[in-house]
């Protein structure tokens, strides 16, 4: 059984190992494969039966050109890099890794929020530059400090991660509102379910944790920002295209939105002309909310279990249906 990993570096830059997958067959791992050159992916897949990808696209053309493929594993929860519908038509199961990042993404959400509230990195740098040493007062602040207790967090998308974020928000003394197409019973003790307009109008902080679907693409735009409180804080650890970036940049520059913290953007890696790069009070991190070693180990463990289950004829975490 030939197994190929097309882009293993972000999952395992050297602090994990591929041993369990290596033990399952003739195993090859590439650190990176082109995101745009299908010929490279086709050549690297060759006659492999098991293909594992993170962000390298597996398109209809790749599927047609690589008839040996019997199984595709995605090293992530999102699986839109694979034409999973066509794969299903060809009888190829596509699996993902659900739930691995709940704790780490929720933690990172508050890393962004607390940086916005306190500008810890800036003030630490100022101290190291000698500004505290020469300050006539016992303290100094370059930015207003923001207390979260008593404020309202609105969470759009209230699955595992959204609910974890809600629990942490409550621990900070925040009120929590949630807007979700599925009103999970487990979420009722955390948040009040409301419609989108109510969430937009009442929230001091809005955090995005919904999947990218046609109905959620651009959910943060000029019109929805217009329904928010002045000085709202917007966080996005979901998918970049949930936000119309020029509209958010305009709102940040005008002061309508106080600050934004985003770990994802519409095109990744970020392009130099992304309007958020020049926006005021916009904190941008390079898609790392998922990437703690602990979370990546969970991905590895689940990916191995997915392959083993397939080989045993009882596939799990399948996101498509075969013929």
Which residue out of 19, 125, 129, 268 is catalytically annotated? 268
224 — phi, psi (to 5°)? Answer: -70, -35
* Residue 199 · residue 228 · CB < 8 Å: no
* Residue 176 · residue 153 · CB < 8 Å: yes
Which residue out of 239, 258, 296, 298 is catalytically annotated? 239
Question: Catalytic residue at 312?
Answer: no
Cβ neighbour number for residue 23 with a 10 Å cutoff: 9
Cβ neighbour number for residue 36 with a 10 Å cutoff: 8
Cβ neighbour number for residue 253 with a 10 Å cutoff: 15
Alpha carbon distance 198, 320 (integer Å)? 35
Residue 211: closest CA among 235, 184, 252, 241: 241
Alpha carbon distance 125, 96 (integer Å)? 41
Alpha carbon distance 40, 6 (integer Å)? 10
Which residue out of 44, 119, 123, 287 is catalytically annotated? 287
Alpha carbon distance 290, 99 (integer Å)? 11
Residues 6 or more apart in contact with residue 241 via CB below 8 angstroms: 212, 217, 218, 266
| Residue 177, token pair as written in the block | 């509102």
Question: Catalytic residue at 239?
Answer: yes
What SS3 class is residue 240? helix
* Residue 153 · residue 178 · CB < 8 Å: no
Question: Catalytic residue at 268?
Answer: yes
Residues 6 or more apart in contact with residue 210 via CB below 8 angstroms: 156, 157, 162, 180, 216, 219, 238, 242
Catalytic residues: 239, 268, 287
């Amino acid at each position: 059984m030939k197994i190929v990993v097309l882009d293993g570096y972000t999952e395992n830059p050297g602090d994990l190992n591929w041993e369990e997958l290596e033990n399952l067959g003739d195993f090859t791992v590439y650190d990176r494969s082109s995101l745009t050159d299908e010929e490279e992916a086709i050549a690297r897949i060759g006659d492999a039966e098991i293909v594992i990808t993170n962000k390298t696209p597996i398109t209809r053309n790749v599927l047609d050109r690589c008839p040996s493929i019997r199984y595709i594993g995605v090293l992530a929860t999102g699986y839109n890099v694979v034409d999973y519908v066509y794969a299903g038509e060809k009888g190829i199961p596509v699996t993902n890794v659900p739930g691995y990042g709940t704790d780490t993404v929720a933690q990172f959400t508050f890393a962004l929020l607390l940086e916005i509230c306190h500008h810890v990195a800036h003030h630490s740098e100022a101290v190291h530059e000698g500004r505290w040493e020469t300050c006539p007062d016992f303290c100094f602040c370059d930015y207003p400090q923001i207390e979260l207790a008593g404020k309202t967090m609105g969470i759009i998308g209230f699955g595992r991660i959204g609910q974890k974020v809600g629990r942490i928000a409550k621990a900070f003394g925040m009120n929590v509102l949630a807007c979700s197409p599925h009103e999970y019973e487990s979420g009722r003790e955390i948040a009040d379910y409301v419609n989108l307009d109510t969430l937009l109008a009442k929230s001091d902080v809005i955090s995005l944790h919904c999947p990218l679907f046609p109905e959620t693409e651009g959910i943060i735009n000029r019109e929805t920002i217009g329904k928010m409180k002045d000085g709202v804080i917007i966080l996005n650890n979901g998918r970049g295209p949930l936000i119309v970036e020029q509209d958010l940049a305009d709102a940040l520059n005008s002061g309508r939105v106080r600050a934004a913290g985003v770990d994802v953007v519409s095109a990744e890696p970020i392009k130099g002309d992304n309007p958020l790069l020049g926006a005021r009070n916009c904190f941008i991190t390079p898609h790392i909310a998922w990437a703690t070693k602990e979370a990546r180990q969970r991905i590895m463990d689940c990916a191995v279990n997915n392959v083993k289950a397939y080989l045993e004829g009882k596939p799990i975490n399948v996101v498509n249906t075969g013929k």
